[in-house]
Structure 1
Amino acid sequence: MTGPTARPATTAVTFPTGATTGTATVLGTRALPGGTGVLVDTTPFHPLDHSWPDQPGDTGTLVADGVIHPVVDCVTGGIGPDGAFAVGADIPVRRGDPAWRWLVVHLVDGAAPAPGRRVTLHVDDDRRAALSAAHTGCHLMALALNEALAGRWRKEVRLDGLGHPDFDGTAVAESRIDVAGTTDRYRIGTSLRKRFDTQGLREALPGLAAEINERLAGRLAQDAPVRVETPGPELTARRRWVCELPERTVGIACGGTHVRRLGELISLTVDLALSEDGGELVVVTTPKRS
């Protein structure tokens, strides 16, 4: 890493408030495949989380002394107790490990601003808005899916924030968010089948999708406020998505970005598919923004 020899402190982030611009001081740089990783003290950029890589990193620009440096990706980085630097999948511990320093790494195309420089950061607003809409839609889908599948549980299971058995939290194996929507994959293995009735599930999918879509349309019509709660500005802070639905305020642990009100979405629809062997349920959620 170029720049000061002292280990950078954990990056402060402002994206939980919805920020897409800010100013910062460059702490150092690191040569990475595909460009140069720039480390700053504070940033509005949301990085891809290496532990649960659902929402992609923001793109945008860093501007220093009138020079525009395109940011082509943004990832999570860390400095271990031995001083070793790692990014993304090369980080051997989960985010938040107290022995590590946790950093937002801005991958720039070409030359990078030097350590000590003040920079202005600009996130691509439209891309961020699309990802935020998709991420909020993902949580709304999960709540509606839990409600639609509630009658299939044979045994007690943990409940979601609306009091329904948490199929999403119990069975989700992968969630991927992009500007067009989300794809969630749920594993229905032997262990789950002991508690969850899968008989006739394939035939029930069209009706379940219709039920979920009706529930989602009703949620959007409520235009409930949405916010991200965080105990502090650190990248490692445990944040929560909170939606103030009329019947109950609900929260879900989440490190991503979101819309401010459900009314920012015109529509939100799902498609359900079951794998040939019945072991995986795939839910594709598609939002449309106002």
Structure 2
Amino acid sequence: MKIGGSTLVSYPAGEVRGRSAVVGAVPVGDRYGTIVAETPFHPLDHTWPDQPADVGTIGGLTVVDCVTGAVAEDEGESERSVHLGEDIPVRRGTPGWSWLVVHVTDAPVPGEEVELVVDAGNRRALSAGHTACHLTALALNAALAGRWRKEPAADGLGHPDFDQTAITSSRILPDGSLDLYRLGKSLRRKGFTTEGLAEELPEIARLVNDRLKEWVAADAPVWIDSPGPELTARRTWRCGLPDGEVAIPCGGTHLSRTSELGSVTATLELSGDGSELTMRTRVG
């Protein structure tokens, strides 16, 4: 195995094609994992698996999955073992480890240098879903701002950050997203009021969607700040909204302007016992 250093990634800049040297191969169950020096593919993040992996081709073969891998740098080349996904034993970005994008195929990838091509349509749909997800979270924070008795951490627009305080899972979908929030004792201790939420939910949804309509119409710029090309670089999503420029830590892919979304609609649903709030976001 010739792996040395973390995989360089070009997907934060929106790239969907590239050519790179093959630096390693690992088994992934009964399939084959190929590691290259630089890739446009976005892998599934094992620590917060919100955005699905890119699909496409590598060396002409179909990429059926794309996962995160890690290998200890102090192990001898003959002893190196690549850990994949949930089997990675250390935190993302731990010093002394190389962090890798592993492209999974049904057959070995031929050649020492390969072409990599991401399915651009699928990427765009996921990017739209991820951009809309961030905007909807910010709009939800604003709509729920009056329900806090205490001052929790604020989001980038100065509203109480309900999204980051209550979220339990987030899933980016093609042209949409699904977010789940826990409304339990912990959230109430932090000052959030749940009384009357069910009755007010239609009005809250209206406020969210009105704000989303304004932001899409504003044609606000969206971009990713990245301190470096390594997979583990701590990237930040930024958007120049009329309310102010906002920043959210994010390792996913995005559109370049809010107007590209066309329209964004959010629906809110409260569980029967009032303990969970579901938000579904749809683009178009």
Q: TM-score when scaled to structure 1?
A: 0.93
Does 2:42 align with 1:46?
yes
How far the C-alpha of 1:279 sits from its partner, in A, is: 1.3
- 1:146 corresponds to: 141
Aligned partners of 1:137, 1:147: CA distance in 2, in Å?
Answer: 15
CA contact (8 A) 2:128 2:175 kept: no
Give the drift of 1:69: 1.1
Q: Which residue matches 2:93?
A: 96
The answer as to whether partners of 2:66 and 2:103 remain within 8 angstroms in 1 is: yes
Equivalent-residue separation in structure 2 for 1:14 and 1:277 (angstroms): 45
Alignment of 1:133-172 (within 5 A): 133-172=128-167
Aligned-CA RMSD value:
1.2
Determine the structure 1 residue equivalent to 2:104: 107
Secondary structure of 1:177's aligned partner: strand
Matched residues in 2 for 1:177 and 1:152: separation?
27
Q: Distance in 2 between matches of 1:97 and 1:84?
A: 16
Q: More displaced, 102-111 or 221-230? A: 102-111
CA offsets, 1:4-30, max 9 Å, x none? 3xx431000000000001110000111
Q: Please give the secondary structure, in 2, of the residue aligned with 1:8.
A: coil
CA distance in 1, matches of 2:258, 2:175: 17
Counterpart of 2:125 in structure 1 is 130
Give yes or no for the alignment of 1:279 onto 2:275: yes
The number of equivalent residue pairs is 278
Q: Distance in 1 between matches of 2:207 and 2:39?
A: 41
Matched with 1:71 is 63
2:170 and 2:97 mapped to 1: Cα distance? 26
The question of 1:30 aligning with 2:22 is answered no
| Percent of aligned pairs sharing the same letter | 53
Q: Does 1:56 align with 2:48?
A: no
CA distance in 2, matches of 1:263, 1:34: 43
Q: 1:85 aligns with which of 82, 85, 88?
A: 82
Residue type at the aligned position of 2:94: D
Question: Which residue is 1:12 aligned to?
Answer: 8
Say which SS state the counterpart of residue 270 (structure 1) adopts.
strand
> Aligned runs of 1:204-219 on 2, under 5 Å?
204-219=200-215
Amino acid paired to 2:67? V
Greater alpha carbon shift after TM alignment, 131-140 vs 202-211: 202-211
In 1, are the aligned partners of 2:215 and 2:242 still within 8 Å (CA)?
no
Q: Output aligned runs, 1:210-229, within 5 Å.
A: 210-229=206-225
CA deviation vs aligned residue, 1:263-282 (integer Å, no higher than 9, x gap): 10111011111112211111
Check whether the contact 1:224–1:263 (CA below 8 A) recurs between aligned residues. yes
The 8 Å contact of residues 26 and 113 in structure 1, kept in 2 or not, is answered as no
Name the SS of the counterpart of 2:239 in structure 1. strand
Moved more, 276-285 or 36-45: 276-285
- Asked if the contact 1:36–1:111 (Cα under 8 Å) also holds between the matched residues in 2, the reply is yes
Q: With the length of structure 2 as denominator, give the TM-score of the two structures.
A: 0.95
SS of 1:61's partner is: strand
CA apart distance, 1:232:
0.3
Aligned residue identity for 2:32:
T
Unaligned runs of 5+ in 1: none
5+ residue gaps, structure 2, are none
Q: Which secondary structure state, in structure 1, belongs to the residue aligned with residue 69 of structure 2?
A: strand
**One-letter amino acid matched to 2:156:** G
User: Counterpart of 1:237 in 2: which secondary structure?
Assistant: coil
Report the CA distance between 1:170 and its aligned residue.
0.8
What's the counterpart of residue 230 of structure 2?
234
How far off is 1:169 after superposition? 1.0
**One-letter code aligned to 2:167:** V
Cα deviation, residue 34, structure 1: 4.9
